[in-house]
Chains A and B, each alone.
Chain A
Amino acid sequence: MKYQSQKVALYYFAGALALFVAQVLFGTLLGTVVVAPNFLADLVPFNILRMIHTNALIVWLLMGFFGCAYYLIPEEAETELHSPKLAVIQFWLFLFGAAAAVVGYLFKIHEGREFLEQPLWIKLAIVVVALMFLYNVTMTVLKGRKTAITNILLLGLWGIAIFFLFSLYNPNNLVLDKMFWWWVVHLWVEGVWELVMASVLAFLMIKLTGVDREIVEKWLYVIVAMALFSGILGTGHHYYWIGTPAYWQWIGSVFSTLEVLPFFAMVVFTFYMVWKGGRSHPNKAALLWALGCSAFAFFGAGVWGFLHTLAPINYYTHGTQVTAAHGHLAFYGAYVMLNIAMFTYAMPLILKREPYNQLLNMWGFWITSGAVSFMTFALTFAGVVQTHLQRVMGMSFMDVQDQLQLFYQFRLGAGLFTLLGVLLIVWSLVVPGKAKQAAGYQAAE
């Protein structure tokens, strides 16, 4: 850490970790309701639990991105942050908005559209928060050094704010509503969020492997080009069955298949950089998370996305547990692991705890990754059985669900292990270790 203002990232990392625990906790509650449907039924219905689960995820990932940006941008731009004070105010405003939303949800105050349940005033507050953030980081970059990493990161962050504006558009025509709902949801997670992911990974590669910036940044441009060339028209894979024209079946199938490429390129990029760099950085856990991120994103977003993205297959699998399986592994691999990689890298530097014992953090990595993988397998099998019974045989939804109980029990077990793993991760990041890591490493960034 070279600049004092990078410290402000710590607020965001802490807030993100707290919401991470809340997200997984509500996930296990949902998993329990699926197995034992009367659980909480009179107190908090499934739909409310689910909006807290998904919103907590989205908010903590965004909070993590903000933190990543506040840590990364001063170091890349080689200047102090434009206004650390504004960044702190922005944090509390964002946290307040998130807390107000969750409390409101418990009292059934929401706008009801999936993922965009926030009441209008909170949506507008999010826009204000985003503008405060963009002003702060953009001013920092403008007065400092401009690198490919900051360019791509800023483009991604501006894109997040701009596409969020479509959440304010809610026409009476359900077809139009759905079309532009995807302008937020798809153009975020399969578009501009990938710019954030690739640029943060590139930053970590420079820091952890010591590979020359020119090489890393060329890879970065190639990766993000692949991501957007495939991902923008890849939106078509959501336009198959919602009242939109049939040509989207061709466009969506072709381009969303190509969406696998940037994820594959990120695997090659990260592993090749580590091999080429040959540097022994003491923060082994951060490297583990960075490599895990590209690998799990490739399987979760890439392979599991491709499984059901071709229109003739999606015709049968659309809206089954196959989608749920893909969603869980993709978010975990691409965005959860990205954030934890950055937290694991930056928090010891901010807190001046390096070099420290990372055994607990690595246990957290393996337990969480194993559990989320197992959950994904359970949901995938559930989805395949569901697809056949419901979409081929024509059995009724609830009769089919009764057939899936065993998979749901496995999923709940995996969910409990996920919670355990997450608690380990948070503990390892927040609580200082007692055992110092063996001395002998040279100081590293």
Chain B
Amino acid sequence: MSETLTKAAARNIFYGGTAFFFAVFVALTVHSVTKANAIAAANPITPGVAAGKHVWEKHSCVNCHTIMGEGAYFAPELGNVWIRFGGREDPDGARETLKAWMKSQPSGVEGRRQMPQFNLSESELDSLADFFKWTSEVDTQNWPPKVSG
């Protein structure tokens, strides 16, 4: 490596540059947090949505499914499942479809991926539906490209 760059100079560039880029990152994060809070202001996180997120975590759905593309890629994307189930046109129908789906698992069909039966209560199922509805309304820059997720 060039003799013109001394070790001390390289060290100073590292520490100074890291501080600079981290500061920029923090500033942009703060701005993005205000945007995330604006999403919650426009579309309030009701107790049902919060409880639904808890149901989502309690059964670690993310370790099979994905949500906004993040998860385990073993089962379908659920960030837009509300839309896929027709929730925009017929919210009650989508809610009933979701509940029926959850209650009918596992399918037991040979050669099909099996979703466990989580024995969710009516209120847990309603919360989960609230959570999926809320998530489907987040502005994800038009992702996913197809409703298939």
Q: Which residues of A contact B (CB under 8 A)?
A: 34, 36-38, 41-42, 45-48, 50-51, 110-114, 117, 148, 170, 172-179, 214-215, 217-219, 221-222, 224-225, 228-229, 232-233, 235-236, 239-249, 251, 315-316, 318-321, 323-324, 390-398, 400-401
Contacts and interface: CB of A to CB of B under 8 A. Distances in A.
Contact of B144 (A249, A391, A400): A391
A126 to B, nearest CB: 19
A400 B68 CA distance: 18
B7 A174 contact: no
Interface in B19-59: 21-22, 24-25, 28-29, 31-33, 35-37, 39-40, 45, 49-50, 53, 56-59
A241 B141 contact: yes
Contacts of A392: 145-146
A319 B69 contact: yes
B20 to A, nearest CB: 8
A112 B72 contact: no
Contact of B7 (A47, A218, A228, A396): A218
Contacts of B13: 221, 225
Given A47-B61, A175-B39, A179-B32, A221 B145 contact: no
B101 interface: no
A110 B60 contact: yes
Contacts of A239: 32
B91 interface: no
Contact of B62 (A112, A214, A246, A397): A112
A394 B45 contact: no
B72 A114 contact: yes
B86 to A, nearest CB: 14
A396 B21 CA distance: 41
A393 B1 CA distance: 50
Interface hub of A148, A232, A244, A400 (most chain B Cβ within 10 A): A244
Given A37-B114, A50-B72, A319-B73, 17 more contacts: A46-B113, A47-B62, A112-B59, A114-B62, A114-B72, A117-B63, A215-B1, A218-B1, A221-B7, A221-B13, A224-B14, A228-B18, A233-B21, A241-B140, A245-B35, A247-B28, A320-B73
A233 B25 contact: yes
A393 B60 CA distance: 30
A394 B69 contact: no
Contact of B1 (A37, A219, A232): A219
B111 A174 contact: no
Contacts of B37: 173, 176
A244 to B, nearest CB: 5
B126 interface: no
B50 A172 contact: yes
A114 B45 CA distance: 22
B21 to A, nearest CB: 5
Contacts of B56: 112
B146 A390 contact: yes
A176 B38 CA distance: 11
- For chain B, the bracket of interface size reads 35 or more
5 contacts: A47-B61, A111-B57, A178-B68, A221-B10, A232-B25
Interface of B: 1, 5-7, 10-11, 13-14, 17-18, 21-22, 24-25, 28-29, 31-33, 35-37, 39-40, 45, 49-50, 53, 56-64, 66-77, 106, 110-114, 116, 134-135, 138-141, 143-149
Contacts of A110: 60
A214 B7 contact: yes
Given A114-B70, A241-B69, A244-B32, A41 B106 contact: yes
B145 A391 contact: yes
B45 A173 contact: yes
B110 A38 contact: yes
A174 B18 contact: no
Contacts of A394: 146-148
Given A112-B58, A175-B39, A394-B148, A243 B140 contact: yes
A235 B71 CA distance: 17
A218 B112 CA distance: 55
B77 A397 contact: yes
A294 B6 CA distance: 24
Nearest to A170: B57
A179 B73 contact: no
Contact of A397 (B28, B72, B138, B149): B149
Contacts of A246: 141
Given A47-B63, A112-B58, A232-B18, A240 B141 contact: yes
B120 to A, nearest CB: 14
Contacts of B147: 394
A46 B1 contact: no
Contacts of A242: 68-70, 138, 140
